[in-house]
Amino acid sequence: MKIPELLAPAGNMEKLEIAINYGADAVYLGGEEFSLRRLADNFTIDGLAHAVQYAHERGKKVYLAANIFPHNADIGTFGDYLRKVASIPFDAYIVSDPGVMDMVREVSPDREVHLSTQANTTNWRSALFWKRQGVSRVNLAREMSLADIAETRERSGVEVEVFVHGAMCISYSGRCLLSGVMAGRDANRGECAHPCRWGYSIVEEKRPGQFFPVMEDGRGAFIFNSKDLCLLEYLPELIEAGVDSLKIEGRMKGIHYVASVVRVYREALDSYREDPGKFEVKKEWLSELGKISHRGYTGGFLLGRPGEDALEAVAGYVRSHEIVGVVSDVLENGEAVIEIRNRVTSGDVVEFIGKNMSSQFFVMSKMTAHNGAGDGILAVAHPNQLVRMRLSFPVERYDLLRREKKQPD
């Protein structure tokens, strides 16, 4: 039985370390240029080399996102970029444009190439075409059903990758023109302003200035705003369909998102491997996915055309929890060194989460400034401050501290 690769986003080095620590088999990342997430932190050339070394030392793979749709003015600089990264031993490049693929073949002829979802592969003949061009893996369009995925895998013989979790674009497999037209930011060159999350009304051409709501909702009408994808409960069907890689969206998401989603899907895949016949989705997995920032969840097109329930009626996110800190070190005397990310006060109840779905609640107390940055017990710790604490349970580096957010009345 083949268990699919778990592929996680790595918007920066910290997120890469978190993804690998919490169970990802591979990560995808982008340089400061020519990936479709130019507003993420991304990596310098030296940073890319360090990231690949870090992952390979731990037996994990790294894929470089080079899936921009370049214009003529980009061709020269893109070629320079490919030459700069050619010596870095990425496990594959992710591309979407045929011209980019051609340039990759010229500069790095032995490099494995994966086809991005932006190439809009929705059928097995397209997958077979790309296989003949030397593509070893195709990230299928999110519009494909489970039956289509299985047929494409079987008839093309190419590896298939499927998004299983994260934000979805209202446009055809992420190829959107709205942002470029409405905000002057080209989504297909990595600068999406997410206009599909904005509120909209109808204007009749002979009544300029009169705005009519599409839905009766005082908060607006969000007719393009998709819920987030979550295919956790369909893992057995995806595995049986022959999917080779399960991809998590989110290079611009925070470490709480990366850690929580990766650890849930890791445990789910491991649970299926141990006993496929008794696999069931645990309530704690769904609860965990509900604690990260999200827009509600949908199964998308997996079981057929989605209905109105796949759209989110509000622009905002569900945010029930927030990150408080990260365990940056554990000292020989057992004290944990914690990097504070949000203001925390002595007496606050926080939850420590780690890999393998570990979880412990703790009342913050006896925080001490680390490395002599102040004396005595701290009543309050602030963002970017390092504190030491003695805990009643074991923790590891990269464990996260979070707390439930206070909701407005």
- Domain boundaries defined on the chain: 5-172+225-305, 321-404
Mean pLDDT of all residues in 262-284: 97
Contact predicate 317/293, CB 8 Å: yes
- pLDDT at position 312 is 56
- pLDDT at position 81 is 94
Residue 80 pLDDT greater than 60, yes or no = yes
Please state, in angstroms and rounded to a whole number, the distance separating the CA atoms of residues 109 and 102.
9
Helix, coil or strand: residue 144: coil
- pLDDT at position 407 is 62
5-172+225-305 belongs to CATH 3.20.20.70: yes
- pLDDT at position 216 is 43
Report the chain's C-alpha Rg in angstroms: 23
Please state, in angstroms and rounded to a whole number, the distance separating the CA atoms of residues 403 and 267.
22
- pLDDT at position 39 is 53
Q: Which helix (H) or strand (E) holds 330?
A: strand 321-330
Lowest mean pLDDT among 113-117, 124-128, 147-151, 175-179: 175-179
Residue 184 pLDDT greater than 90, yes or no = no
pLDDT band at 275 (very low <50, low <70, confident <90, very high): very high
Share of the chain above pLDDT 70, in %: 88
Mean pLDDT of all residues in 238-264: 96
Q: What are phi and psi of 236, to 5 degrees?
A: -60, -40
Residue 287 pLDDT greater than 80, yes or no = yes
Closest CA to 338 of 301, 370, 374: 370
Query: pLDDT tens-digit profile of 24-70?
Result: 999 999 998 776 555 556 799 999 999 999 999 999 999 999 988 88
Residue 271 pLDDT greater than 90, yes or no = yes
Residue 136 pLDDT greater than 80, yes or no = yes
- pLDDT at position 40 is 54
- pLDDT at position 251 is 87
- pLDDT at position 371 is 77
pLDDT band at 374 (very low <50, low <70, confident <90, very high): low
Please state, in angstroms and rounded to a whole number, the distance separating the CA atoms of residues 321 and 403.
6
CATH of 321-404, one of 2.30.30.100, 2.20.28.270, 3.40.30.10, 2.40.30.10: 2.40.30.10
Mean pLDDT of all residues in 340-354: 96
Closest CA to 261 of 290, 236, 281, 240: 290
Task: Label residues 326-337 b or e (16+ Cβ within 10 Å = b).
Answer: bbeebeeeebbb
Helix, coil or strand: residue 133: coil
When the pLDDT of each residue in the chain is averaged and rounded to a whole number, the result is 89
Overall pTM surpassing 0.95 (yes/no): no
Lowest mean pLDDT among 100-104, 180-184, 311-315: 311-315
Residue 358 pLDDT greater than 90, yes or no = yes
Where are the extended beta strands (E) located within 256-320?
297-298
Where are the extended beta strands (E) located within 32-182?
61-65, 92-95, 113-115, 137-139, 159-166
Q: What are phi and psi of 93, to 5 degrees?
A: -105, 140
Helix, coil or strand: residue 6: strand
Share of the chain above pLDDT 90, in %: 69
Lowest mean pLDDT among 95-99, 160-164, 186-190, 354-358: 186-190
A 10 A CB-CB count for 74 gives 17
